[in-house]
Structure 1
């Protein structure tokens, strides 16, 4: 995407949100649109595919606070008249001309030199290294975001999952060079491979993209027939992603170089996979600790017992001491979620008394005898409670 296109596009409108939308609102809007427009859901629909690319492009900028800030500030600058879209033409008496190329204010020869000017403002977005991007350097591919859902135990123990994606990828015929197999791009003789042409008009010096190579610094005489010289094909591929143990719900996994392909062999962007974790019927999670509720009988709490409980790696025996109160938490060390630095959290077992709904006569008589024995011994379950 050129700098002119970047400025003139309304990413907020593409996602259907206001310019003051929160990150959560932007994320929700993108998720809905991505689901509706994904190529897998609209096979053969080129309009939906292009719209999907546009929405992904908008989300890539607005979901990143730093990029969003640069985008907002730059559009505000142009909307305020600092640099009208028509451009500045010093040869017209300081007026404005529709013939001016926006590349004049972004190149290394723009006003302010290589250490200042508008080009530096875009450094963070167009070149991750910061600073003004060399016009002849191939452009890095865009980052891509996707999502996957894991079961609770898969997320805790780690898993390898296949992700099927449709996105711009390096052309398999020319291997991303853009040139027909057996040939290679040649250095542009007009700009000597820099991608820019410098010129002077009066007291002003300007740099603009080279017309011969379109700012790439190289010329392809015999383009690849499959990608038409771009080095990129939109294709569906399956990526195997290793999800590390202990991943939390909503956490992002970064896969370097698995995003959109860069133009003509430039580095690919990154792939960010947001992991969603399903709930489990038995386990809960508190940081690196696993939690579960253990049903026990009243007599087990009073007399004590040892109960077999599940863990991520089999079952262990948990000792319930005599006289354990309902709701007490028993800790089993090292049986929780694996930690990144090694080891694991703990298993926290909350005991909860289970009350029988029906009793036969013998059990009822036994409980009544126990109730009388408690009273005779002076036991009062509500002693000291509520002012009693």
Structure 2
């Protein structure tokens, strides 16, 4: 059964941003999650299909391979470019047909590039907004210093494989056909290590924990990646090292919620301040600022503080801080305070007279009355 297009699976356009893809995935994941589908096998398969599409399209390397070559470019069983870290589309066919017909690219098997690595970096909102230099420790494979990555003991060198004579492949005839296979003696390397390095045991690589300095640019957000070229695993037999991808995750903040370049926060407002107006102090990432509250402010009113958000790591555009005021009902009132509130309520009158002070209340109950009148008419 052929696979569906990954963009079609998530219901997004081919040019969709990573943010749009994440939104689409969250929506579908909530709908088709196994906890919600009660053991429906078809829906479970659909959920797996959604997860697979999300994994490919949120990985820059895999997405590029998929956009260029389709499913073949990201199939790990066929050496897809999205998984091998170094293969191209020609390798997909070279591996399949080269061994059978003795053609393909032929010759010695190329030394494999080192694997890419991923490091998850947690930051506070303040660190993400301002940027910082951090030191990280990464366990990885590095080239052996003792043998300079050759795998041979110092003072010796690998010898040419006597079976394949350095080609990395051997040819076997079966009737009219010549079948080319990886050399069983040297595993396709074309060289034999007669006297292995004692430090790396002939592997040319050793495990080591590296300490790296990472410059986190100002404005990064959850999901952003920082690429450190050549800081992944060392390649085999002197091949290039892979890359290290530092995956950013920003912790939740007790006051602010970030959406793109904008910040949002809720500010409690007293009943009297909302009615009479005045100034209050609101927090920003740079300290407190004054915010003027007009008279008769209602709960839920949003105030915009321009330029108090986050500076974009890509465009340099600075977002805004959006302050939503929430009117707080007084609690723990004394008897006298309750009397004063009752006097205030009485002073506003009733019926049409009270509507002058509470227009929303009148509008609501007028709507309720009309609703029931329409039901009975």
TM-score normalised by the shorter chain: which range applies? 0.5 to 0.7
SS in 1 for 2:237: helix
Matched pairs, number: 290
Residue 319 (structure 1) aligned with residue 319 (structure 2) = no
Please name the residue that 1:14 is paired with: none
State yes or no: 1:286 paired with 2:259: yes
Q: Is the 8 A contact 1:298 1:355 kept in 2?
A: yes
Q: 1:110 to 1:356 in 2, by over 3 A?
A: same
Give 5+ residue unaligned stretches, structure 2. Answer: 1-40, 53-61, 80-93, 370-377
Matching of residues 50-199 of structure 1 within 5 Å: 70-71=75-76, 106=96, 108=98, 110-111=100-101, 113-114=103-104, 135-181=108-154, 185=158, 191=164, 193-199=166-172
What does the per-residue CA deviation read over 1:85-104, in whole Å, with 9 as the maximum and x for residues that have no partner?
A: xxxxxxxxxxxxxxxxxxx9
Shift of 1:301: 1.6
Is 1:384 matched with 2:363?
yes
Q: Which has the higher helix share?
A: 2
Look up the match of 2:204. Answer: 231
* Alpha-carbon distance in 1 for matches of 2:106, 2:291: 62
> Structure 1 residues 204 and 343, CA, compared in 2 at 3 Å: closer, same or farther?
same
Which position in structure 2 is the counterpart of 1:77? none
Three-state SS of the structure 2 residue aligned to 1:300 is helix
1:331 Cα offset (Å): 0.9
Moved more, 348-357 or 159-168: 159-168
Q: After TM superposition, give the deviation of residue 329 of structure 1 in Å.
A: 0.8
Could you report, residue by residue, the CA deviation over 1:326-353 in whole angstroms, capped at 9, with x for unpaired residues?
Answer: 1111111221122121122211100011
Pair 1:22-2:48 in alignment: yes
Displacement of 1:253 in angstroms is 4.0
1:205 pairs with 178, 181, 203, which one?
A: 178
CA distance in 1, matches of 2:157, 2:320: 59
Counterpart contact for 1:109–1:198, Cα < 8 Å: no
Residue 324 of structure 2 is matched in structure 1 by: 350
> What displacement does 1:233 show?
0.7
- Mean alpha-carbon deviation: is it higher for 181-190 or for 298-307? 181-190
Q: Does the residue aligned with 2:151 lie in a helix, a strand or coil?
A: coil
Using the TM superposition, name which of 247-256 and 336-345 deviates more: 247-256
Bigger drift between 183-192 and 270-279 goes to 183-192
Tell me, in whole angstroms, the C-alpha distance in 2 between the residues paired with 1:217 and 1:112: 17
Contact 1:149 1:278 in 2 (8 A): yes
CA displacement 1:107-162 (0-9 Å, x = unmatched): 73533842xxxxxxxxxxxxxxxxx6964321112233343332233233334433
CA distance in structure 1 between the aligned counterparts of 2:106 and 2:281, rounded to whole angstroms: 63
Deviation at 1:255, TM superposition (A): 3.2
Aligned CA distance change for structure 1 residues 273 and 133 (closer, same or farther; 3 Å): farther
The alpha-carbon deviation at position 248 of structure 1 amounts to: 3.3
User: 2: CA distance between counterparts of 1:317 and 1:343?
Assistant: 23
Tell me what 1:94 maps to.
none
Scaled by the length of structure 1, the TM-score of the pair is: 0.62
Q: Describe the shift of the 1:113–1:184 C-alpha distance in structure 2 as closer, same or farther (beyond 3 A).
A: closer
User: 1:303-347 CA deviation, whole Å, 9 max, x = no partner?
Assistant: 222222222222222222222211111111221122121122211
The question of whether the paired residues in 2 share the 8 Å contact of 1:166 and 1:237 is answered with yes
Q: 1:184 to 1:242 in 2, by over 3 A?
A: farther
- Look up the SS of the partner of 1:155 in the other structure: helix
Q: Does structure 1 conserve the Cα–Cα contact (< 8 Å) formed by 2:302 and 2:322? A: yes
Give the whole-Å Cα distance in 1 for the aligned partners of 2:298 and 2:214.
Answer: 45
Superposed CA RMSD? 3.8
Distance 2:113 2:339 in 1: 80
| 1:112–1:338 CA distance, 2 compared to 1 (3 A) | farther
SS in 2 for 1:367: helix
CA contact (8 A) 1:107 1:208 kept: no
Within a 5 Å distance, the mapping from 1:250-265 to structure 2 comes to 250-265=223-238
Q: Which runs of 5+ in 1 are unaligned?
A: 1-17, 27-60, 75-103, 115-131
Change in Cα spacing, 1:308 to 1:181, as seen in structure 2 (3 Å) is farther
**What is the Cα deviation at residue 361 of structure 1?**
5.7
Tell me the TM-score normalised to structure 2 length. Answer: 0.63
